[in-house]
Structure 1
């Protein structure tokens, strides 16, 4: 099934990856995006309509046509008008609850890095909440799992269960298997979906048809002595009837557990992954009430989608998160078919003891064209790239400098009380257009990335939060990644950023 597609992808990867590495070696200074970010001149502000920062009731599709790549699928926010899982979903979290959930995830990531970063040595694991893990401000995609063939009546009745967003991809088909809407997670390693039998509870309701392994002729559970089972390491959860069991825990105390299995994973008629390894979940502690089917893990561990498909898709992936719920983004497995000169590139750093995480080295921040007076040593711990943390965490020294510069440039607007740990807020009542200073993040090798206006403010507050001290690793949240294609070139140890991609 892959022969022609794989050869095309392989030849394309050689064409694209080589220039990426040349950019790394040369410092990236030749990138047109870097020049554009450095040459604003007097154009250091942008007038932004406040209405453009709010989601609309309708879905407007893609603002920008996604890359011409055979493995791309649309991304949606799980509770927005573009989401197929919106129907019947519970109400979104309040801002206070969202910020608490976000801090839990940050605390968990930093605790998991305790063996690699000195600030957490001897630290106590953060307490877990028993509240439900509501998935807000995340990115979801639709894939097809299994080789089950639905009868015609079911195909007509199920509708979206037999196609992946035909309006966006132009591909209408009766692909085998069932559509599953999954959350992209770059900070976890084991993909999983809910599997029959899956009573509710302990499973959670989902919009998609439940995946039933008994109806898929390509399904197989891993025996307990199989190499795949032994590689599970901390995710292993014993053995039942000689079938390997897994369990994945999440920061809020929720978890997924069941049988570690393999089956066919299909993106579209020309791209499918045989023997895709994933967790067939029969119990979910906590309520993932976004109505999604599971998690598509993209971390650096051997169990993740990107690691499993490294030989076929070049050990690379990218995504672009839309600016609001009213638009669609995209996910690409493999290297996008986009000229390398359109990316700014910085080295990808890894943690020795925790290969799950991808890290970059932030070195400076500019506000309205002026670089903040922050020593580079403040950023020495680096920043974890995370698709599910919402708001970027900075070293306190860098945050205070950013906050002071931002407040200075925004002095014409009325200040408002803090909202949780968002401490720089404004009252924009009656303000139709706001004059925002441009903010750029400067990564190693002079990779300059100007963040989108939708990433500067969050609920009318400066959309950054400080860590507890400068020694803790920062986290680049998904809010600051909006509209930017983030390319994880894992095989070549590079991260690329392409602005205005979605």
Structure 2
């Protein structure tokens, strides 16, 4: 039987939720011209470099690069949310008349009923393990944060609980016999507060009772202390605290997402393996390495430009590729990037190159003034078992520049950024041991 035609939309089952850019018009917190100003390209690249350092550090077991040890940068105002993907969740069973904090959490909380949850906008993070949301107090007149004092199902974990002990390096201290957590980010921001549990609502028919998360009470460091379009981060990593670990028995330890092409579009996020995945997706094995368990990785074996593979030695891609929802630009080993740049420039010879690139990292830019339509070469990523993933046009150029950049050298592995993932449903099937790609899914 031939494969069913791709409809370009996901199945609307109970685990499906819309995905959007936090600062785009599809976001519930969109404020038009009042939305936070986009960072300069230099700032975006700097923060993306911090993110890449973090990913490479997880792969190698420490934050080091060929240019020496990684140093924590000076703290900035807020964790970067531009060019990210977010969803809306519900936290707690909010009761405006209730002012109590629930009893100490156990390791097996039951399902709680009650008033509707508080909607929270959270950024998806596939390289993070501990989910967290901002908690009151906050400095705003209309506080958008989740208030644990108003949730009848909220509970804080005691310091001697197994959940607290399971935090490992994310455990920070004990305060009033309540377990404290801290998650640090390489851009200088952090989230810290009380490790807690409450009812998580993914959709009206899909809830997670006793959901373990960090109740962030350090808003100035992590949220910037001012209006923010997001309320926290939904960790989708492979650690024991992530959403996937907490829902693996119900959803088979799998999730997928599709990042939209434009900020004015919506994508989707889905927990579980989509129906017909075996023939609707280009599948490649998920790399398993007990020394590097934190990331989702696959073996990238080739890159083609207009169907022609780059002329690079096979060992240049031997480190595989880490898939990340928050790195903006795909980063390639130095030799591989140089070959891609040369092939791309050759196919784009008919167009005028920009006199000077806006940043040295994006070094292949064009001046399309007066050009009505730009014919881009086709770029495809080829993974193990011949899983060919042709990129959407929106995944090739960022502005008028080639949306790829290079690692410091050939030792660090590739990172597949979210620009190249646009319009592609990316399936992370940990239970089945595969990563899948479905083109033109959103």
2:73 equivalent among 125, 128, 131: 128
Alpha-carbon distance, 1:108 to partner: 2.1
Structure 1: distance between partners of 2:241 and 2:222 = 23
Match of 1:325 in 2: 263
1:79 aligns with 2:23: yes
The one-character-per-residue Cα deviations of 1:180-213 (angstroms, maximum 9, x if unpaired) are: 00000001000000112x233xxxx698732111
Structure 2: distance between partners of 1:69 and 1:207 = 34
1:238 aligns with 2:173: yes
The one-character-per-residue Cα deviations of 1:318-354 (angstroms, maximum 9, x if unpaired) are: 0000011010000001112344211000111144344
Match of 1:142 in 2: 88
Structure 2: distance between partners of 1:349 and 1:178 = 38
Structure 2: distance between partners of 1:31 and 1:478 = 27
Match of 2:396 in 1: 456
Alpha-carbon distance, 1:223 to partner: 0.6
Answer yes or no: is the 8 Å Cα contact 1:108–1:126 preserved in 2. no
2:425 equivalent among 485, 490, 495: 485
Answer yes or no: is the 8 Å Cα contact 2:138–2:145 preserved in 1. no
Structure 1: distance between partners of 2:209 and 2:201 = 9
Answer yes or no: is the 8 Å Cα contact 2:126–2:325 preserved in 1. yes
Alpha-carbon distance, 1:226 to partner: 0.6
- What are the ranges of 5 or more consecutive residues in structure 1 without an aligned counterpart? 1-29, 37-62, 152-173
Answer yes or no: is the 8 Å Cα contact 1:113–1:120 preserved in 2. no
The one-character-per-residue Cα deviations of 1:409-454 (angstroms, maximum 9, x if unpaired) are: 1001000122211000000111121011110000011100000000
Secondary structure of the structure 1 residue equivalent to 2:319: coil
1:224 aligns with 2:159: yes
Structure 2: distance between partners of 1:145 and 1:208 = 15
Answer yes or no: is the 8 Å Cα contact 1:114–1:120 preserved in 2. no
Match of 2:343 in 1: 405
Q: How does 1:152-167 map to 2 (within 5 A)?
A: none
Structure 1: distance between partners of 2:425 and 2:270 = 10
Cα distance, 1:224–1:422 mapped onto 2, change above 3 Å? same
Q: How does 1:371-386 map to 2 (within 5 A)?
A: 371-386=309-324
Answer yes or no: is the 8 Å Cα contact 1:182–1:292 preserved in 2. yes
Match of 2:377 in 1: 437
The one-character-per-residue Cα deviations of 1:242-284 (angstroms, maximum 9, x if unpaired) are: 1100000011110010000010001222111101000011113
Secondary structure of the structure 2 residue equivalent to 1:102: helix
Structure 2: distance between partners of 1:393 and 1:83 = 28
The one-character-per-residue Cα deviations of 1:145-178 (angstroms, maximum 9, x if unpaired) are: 0011469xxxxxxxxxxxxxxxxxxxxxx97110
1:107 aligns with 2:45: no
Answer yes or no: is the 8 Å Cα contact 1:108–1:125 preserved in 2. no
Cα distance, 1:72–1:437 mapped onto 2, change above 3 Å? same
Structure 2: distance between partners of 1:426 and 1:318 = 34
Answer yes or no: is the 8 Å Cα contact 2:320–2:413 preserved in 1. yes
Secondary structure of the structure 1 residue equivalent to 2:366: strand
Match of 1:370 in 2: 308
Secondary structure of the structure 2 residue equivalent to 1:415: coil
Match of 2:10 in 1: 66
Cα distance, 1:374–1:96 mapped onto 2, change above 3 Å? same
Structure 1: distance between partners of 2:201 and 2:417 = 29
Aligned length: 417
The one-character-per-residue Cα deviations of 1:42-81 (angstroms, maximum 9, x if unpaired) are: xxxxxxxxxxxxxxxxxxxxx9433222111111111111
The one-character-per-residue Cα deviations of 1:126-147 (angstroms, maximum 9, x if unpaired) are: 3323222231100010000001
- Of 236-245 and 85-94, more deviation after overlay is shown by 85-94
Structure 1: distance between partners of 2:96 and 2:288 = 43
2:299 equivalent among 361, 373, 394: 361
Secondary structure of the structure 2 residue equivalent to 1:426: coil
Cα distance, 1:253–1:365 mapped onto 2, change above 3 Å? same
1:497 aligns with 2:440: no
Secondary structure of the structure 2 residue equivalent to 1:427: coil
Structure 2: distance between partners of 1:149 and 1:107 = 42
Alpha-carbon distance, 1:112 to partner: 3.2
Larger relative helix fraction: 1
Structure 2: distance between partners of 1:206 and 1:357 = 39
Match of 1:335 in 2: 273
Answer yes or no: is the 8 Å Cα contact 2:94–2:115 preserved in 1. no
Q: How does 1:22-41 map to 2 (within 5 A)?
A: none
1:264 aligns with 2:209: no
Structure 2: distance between partners of 1:129 and 1:207 = 30
Structure 1: distance between partners of 2:238 and 2:119 = 25
Answer yes or no: is the 8 Å Cα contact 2:60–2:292 preserved in 1. no
Structure 2: distance between partners of 1:287 and 1:271 = 28
Match of 1:11 in 2: none
Cα distance, 1:437–1:206 mapped onto 2, change above 3 Å? farther
Structure 2: distance between partners of 1:191 and 1:82 = 23
- What are the ranges of 5 or more consecutive residues in structure 2 without an aligned counterpart? 98-113
Secondary structure of the structure 1 residue equivalent to 2:45: helix
Structure 2: distance between partners of 1:364 and 1:372 = 7
Cα distance, 1:208–1:453 mapped onto 2, change above 3 Å? farther
